[in-house]
Chains A and B, each alone.
Chain A
């Protein structure tokens, strides 16, 4: 039994413990599994039991803020089941020794709202174990379309680049989500842009969610419990972005003891620990840090040893620090404080000390470049149960995005008798500070209604750019402050939604999110109605219809598809109106009676208004112009269908999905006013995810993705430059003739990623293979040249000719990491 429990704990490693131990529940002759779900929502504990154990078992229990043990005892009194609480698991078994089927002969018994993990155990023990989790509920039961709850295990089981498990890259495998440029952690959901996704950590927005230009996301999966992801029908609670909402929930601290993990990978290491502080308080600390700086030390040292005078500087790291403390004041009140700090830091440059030497003359450069960017988040919350059927959560939070860069360049011109020194210092800062105050309520007036409502206030402070330049040359110096844009904005929002079981077959979720955004003495209003309808003819299938409007008041300005610290978040201002998206979705869902397989088809049509983008030739506008002058407003539309076949239980799980998508944009001042396709439209996209648990020690994971190539603007014609010849860098050349934006489609993209997890007594190894069959995909096309050899009887030379080139990126990349559990 101990081995089974150990295994189960390992499997549900990141499904952590909630601290509330008292429960309130009323159930009369209801299926046991249904009651389990309610208990799990209140306590966070998992139920572990044999698959055949609960067949036809119903329970009756009436409890009001009673200890969990009492409730469980009452539930199972008069039944053949006994329970035992082991850590975060409630293990159920028969009171008397029951006849057991032969090894391997049993199958999972359907259990509503359950997630089943099959495992091979000794014949004397349970043949098959069911871990009931509130995570990953069947889609036929809810009204939601395009919603996905992803466990940390699912994230970890998705093979990714460099073996760094990544929340955003796991989401990229979902239908309707385009990954953008290969290897980078952006999401383009249903034809949207990358800044149209709201990333949250425990329900508080994060503006900067990437490290290393987007190669890694800022979410440390070792301390994540699960991720809620919504892309079609959006709960009324969420608004502020057009395309999707992702809320990563941190684990709670472990009440049973001090446990954690330490991981060592090629790119980063992580250390996490959680445990109790007294009887009512728990803590959780997670730290992840890259170690490029350590890895590069010997290379830099070698490089510098080759050059006595010029010394190269390079240092880069990123880190994430998460901490959470939770305290239970009473059975009704629980409070928590949490903190997140994510930072990228890079220092580079060269130092030329040659001018110190008496016989060295000429120019000597010393340049330093420091850059750092990241996000900080602090929040305090109070969960309070006002009544048996009314709970509340009050939150105060501060979230800050920051980036800063400094370039310091010193030039020394040394002659025989003097050194002329000149210096240029360039500094720029960019940050956002948000203070958030919010109250959320969850009211269950009766068994058929669940009403969620709340209100919040956010004080935004935007500082998109503060740049200063210092020039020094001899006795002359000049300091300029190029631009300081600062905006304060007030955002107020309120929402309400009711999840109403109209009948046994029909369910509706209707809500409204209202918001007000005040900036520069101008107030904008947003009304975002939400409606989802579900019709469930029987237990196994459902059809759903949804409408959702979303409103966005802030948007990101970036000149590249990389996540760089120069990206600026800008509020809606001036002549521009808030961006809006209206989306109609229709979905059909079917699952096999034993819940092993499910299939879904979700169609959508989305139209977007007041979208913002850079106008044609925006780069010709001097940056001193207000950013508004570089932008234009337009429309967009997206439509498509996402089909997904999923295997939920068994040794082999995974999904196959297919997306068919169209997405376009129309701006009066872009592409000459003509409609053009979105860059990451990806007309056809296929994802295959397979997770194969070979035995209790080894698991294989495979992820294959294939999609239509990204769109690209390729200039295939050129014209001769005018020969104005008025400056020394003006040279006669050729310039590309404009064509329609995104009119060229890159070749079909496909890639297979593999990973293997091998467990041992202390932890587990993870081996990864990105792009396993080494198909280097085209990420861009460009104009270039190639050398040609001209060989004639009387002459031989090498020249070049213009050619078009495909740029191919990542080959096969192996990875390895080890995680030690304690």
Chain B
């Protein structure tokens, strides 16, 4: 958004002279019930029920204490604890004497087969401390993750973690670090497919956005090119752990993708700002709940792992 900051003063020079005035709009507002739920295959279904509130009200006005919730799976009412399977059609119905009724349904997507993975490292930098007790490695990691897309319209989300945990651990004066660094989101164009020309020009980028669709490879294989910069390893030389990176491809429901896309538009796009100044139409929160409030989403996961232990050990000068 760096460019945006430069362009706005140019485009909106009149706004430099604008002012804002607090007011109370004379508009009716009737609270509606809100359902939020992320359903994951193999995990118990949970839903958070709240209600909408006037924007100027405090958040506690959204609390709902008198709602009843029913969960249907494939048309059948389920007990309180229900663990969904892939392809289950889940419907959540909430009713409140004070906030009305809301419902939403979603189909739990099928997980794709475990992705094929291929990787390589480059630009390795090695250093030891003055005592030779600690080693420090810095490198780039290129991962090629190939997914086989089933036919029909599918939506995905990529996530990744490392083990041992990539958090810094403090043990006296010792610091243990293993991190695969920063994913170069721009280097994988599929993460930018939701960004239109207007948004691109205004500086919108895909940083942090790992949602994508199969529109460009429907029913085929697609290889994600993941470039991780600044991967770091910092451990005692005599205690090298098993270092692994885990990549998860979540098959997600359209509602999950739309919600993520909406969030990008809201927080990173320009439409909201244009709307705020009357130069565009404002956007509302995406919802697949009958009341217009809340998101019911679903996902299934496929995970694959790469083991970097040998690479790290091989990079250490004995």
The secondary structure that dominates the A interface is strand
Q: Do A808 and B19 contact each other (CB < 8 Å), given the known contacts A181-B278, A476-B227, A714-B27?
A: yes
Q: Are A476 and B187 in contact (CB under 8 A)?
A: yes
Chain B residues within an 8 Å CB radius of A566: 197-198, 201
Chain B residues within an 8 Å CB radius of A367: 2-3
Q: Which of A763-822 contact B (CB under 8 A)?
A: 776, 778-784, 786, 801-811
Q: Do A623 and B286 contact each other (CB < 8 Å), given the known contacts A722-B37, A780-B275?
A: no
Chain A residues within an 8 Å CB radius of B54: 716-717
Q: Are B6 and A349 in contact (CB under 8 A)?
A: yes
Q: Which of B263-299 contact A (CB under 8 A)?
A: 263, 265-269, 271, 274-287, 292-295, 297
Q: Are A623 and B196 in contact (CB under 8 A)?
A: yes
Closest Cβ of chain A to B64, distance in Å, is 11
Name which residue of chain A comes closest to B263, CB basis.
Answer: A730
Q: A407 at interface (Cβ–Cβ under 8 A)?
A: yes
Q: How far is the CA of A474 from the CA of B269 in the complex (A)?
A: 29
Chain B residues within an 8 Å CB radius of A715: 55, 282, 284
Name which residue of chain B comes closest to A617, CB basis.
Answer: B286
Q: Are A623 and B55 in contact (CB under 8 A)?
A: no
Contact pattern, A 400-416, Cβ under 8 Å of B = 1, otherwise 0: 00000101010000000
Residues of B within 8 A of A (CB-CB), count: 97
Q: How far is the CA of A741 from the CA of B6 in the complex (A)?
A: 31
Chain A residues within an 8 Å CB radius of B269: 619
Q: B152 at interface (Cβ–Cβ under 8 A)?
A: no
Q: Are A728 and B208 in contact (CB under 8 A)?
A: yes
Q: How far is the CA of A183 from the CA of B287 in the complex (A)?
A: 36
Q: A744 at interface (Cβ–Cβ under 8 A)?
A: yes
Q: A271 at interface (Cβ–Cβ under 8 A)?
A: no
Q: Are A560 and B274 in contact (CB under 8 A)?
A: yes
Contact pattern, B 245-268, Cβ under 8 Å of A = 1, otherwise 0: 000000000001011111101111
Q: Are B52 and A717 in contact (CB under 8 A)?
A: yes
Q: Are B29 and A716 in contact (CB under 8 A)?
A: yes
Contact of B200 among A365, A426, A719 (CB under 8 A): A426
Q: Are A625 and B53 in contact (CB under 8 A)?
A: no
Q: A737 at interface (Cβ–Cβ under 8 A)?
A: yes
Q: How far is the CA of A346 from the CA of B48 in the complex (A)?
A: 49
Q: B215 at interface (Cβ–Cβ under 8 A)?
A: yes
Closest Cβ of chain B to A307, distance in Å, is 15
Q: How far is the CA of A422 from the CA of B285 in the complex (A)?
A: 35
Contact pattern, A 94-109, Cβ under 8 Å of B = 1, otherwise 0: 0000000000000000
Contact of A561 among B195, B261, B280 (CB under 8 A): B280
Q: Are B38 and A722 in contact (CB under 8 A)?
A: yes
Chain A residues within an 8 Å CB radius of B52: 717-719, 737
Q: Do A737 and B32 contact each other (CB < 8 Å), given the known contacts A710-B278, A722-B38, A780-B276?
A: yes
Q: Are B11 and A780 in contact (CB under 8 A)?
A: no
Q: A592 at interface (Cβ–Cβ under 8 A)?
A: no
Contact pattern, A 471-494, Cβ under 8 Å of B = 1, otherwise 0: 101111010101000000000000
Q: Are A717 and B25 in contact (CB under 8 A)?
A: no
Closest Cβ of chain B to A790, distance in Å, is 14
Q: A569 at interface (Cβ–Cβ under 8 A)?
A: no
Q: B159 at interface (Cβ–Cβ under 8 A)?
A: yes
Q: Are A716 and B284 in contact (CB under 8 A)?
A: no
Contact pattern, B 204-230, Cβ under 8 Å of A = 1, otherwise 0: 000111100101100000000101010
Contact of A716 among B27, B193, B210, B280 (CB under 8 A): B27
Closest Cβ of chain A to B4, distance in Å, is 10
Q: Are B197 and A720 in contact (CB under 8 A)?
A: no
Among A348, A735, A781, max chain B CB count under 10 A is at A735
Q: A277 at interface (Cβ–Cβ under 8 A)?
A: no
Name which residue of chain A comes closest to B212, CB basis.
Answer: A622
Q: Are A471 and B208 in contact (CB under 8 A)?
A: no
Q: How far is the CA of A679 from the CA of B282 in the complex (A)?
A: 12
Closest Cβ of chain A to B194, distance in Å, is 5
Q: A93 at interface (Cβ–Cβ under 8 A)?
A: no
Q: How far is the CA of A426 from the CA of B195 in the complex (A)?
A: 12
Q: Are B18 and A724 in contact (CB under 8 A)?
A: no
Q: A28 at interface (Cβ–Cβ under 8 A)?
A: no
Contact pattern, B 171-214, Cβ under 8 Å of A = 1, otherwise 0: 00000000000001011010011111110110100011110010
Closest Cβ of chain A to B53, distance in Å, is 6
Q: B21 at interface (Cβ–Cβ under 8 A)?
A: yes
Q: How far is the CA of A371 from the CA of B201 in the complex (A)?
A: 9
Q: Are B14 and A809 in contact (CB under 8 A)?
A: yes
Q: Are A624 and B285 in contact (CB under 8 A)?
A: no
Q: How far is the CA of A426 from the CA of B21 in the complex (A)?
A: 39
Name which residue of chain B comes closest to A747, CB basis.
Answer: B23
Q: Are B20 and A467 in contact (CB under 8 A)?
A: no
Q: Do A561 and B259 contact each other (CB < 8 Å), given the known contacts A183-B14, A717-B53?
A: no
Q: Are A807 and B276 in contact (CB under 8 A)?
A: yes
Name which residue of chain B comes closest to A725, CB basis.
Answer: B38
Q: B110 at interface (Cβ–Cβ under 8 A)?
A: no
Q: Are A806 and B23 in contact (CB under 8 A)?
A: yes
Q: How far is the CA of A786 from the CA of B17 in the complex (A)?
A: 19
Q: Are B279 and A722 in contact (CB under 8 A)?
A: no
Q: Are A619 and B271 in contact (CB under 8 A)?
A: yes
Contact of B123 among A350, A474, A718, A730 (CB under 8 A): A474
CB-defined A-B contacts under 8 Å, sample of 25: A213-B11, A314-B10, A407-B200, A420-B229, A473-B229, A561-B278, A566-B198, A622-B215, A623-B194, A624-B193, A713-B281, A714-B27, A715-B55, A716-B29, A718-B52, A718-B55, A728-B208, A736-B284, A776-B18, A781-B23, A784-B20, A802-B55, A804-B56, A805-B21, A808-B19
The 9 closest A-B pairs by CB, nearest first: A735-B285, A780-B278, A722-B36, A719-B293, A738-B284, A623-B196, A779-B278, A560-B280, A782-B276
